[in-house]
Amino acid sequence: MNDLEPGLDRLAERLGTERPVPSAGYRAALRRSLLTRAPEQRFAPRRLRLLIGAYAGSGAALLLVVAVGVLGAGPLAS
């Protein structure tokens, strides 16, 4: 069962079927261009391990804040 209005349902179907797609020639040229790039031109962060560690550390800190909040002892506990 769909809870959308009939007009919205038809519009969603139309948008899904009529989605613009680049031409095959453009996609092939783009693929060739990306695959033939020199390795030094490809994007790679200089400090990838540091970046991964920073994201993992901040995620762990946020999980810790949530866990403390669930226990009722955090800075947002009332």
The series of mean pLDDT values per 10 residues for the chain, 78 residues long, is 75 84 92 81 81 97 90 74
pTM of the full predicted structure? 0.43
**What distance in Å separates the CA atoms of residue 48 and residue 40, rounded to the nearest whole number?**
15
Supply 21's token pair.
């797609």
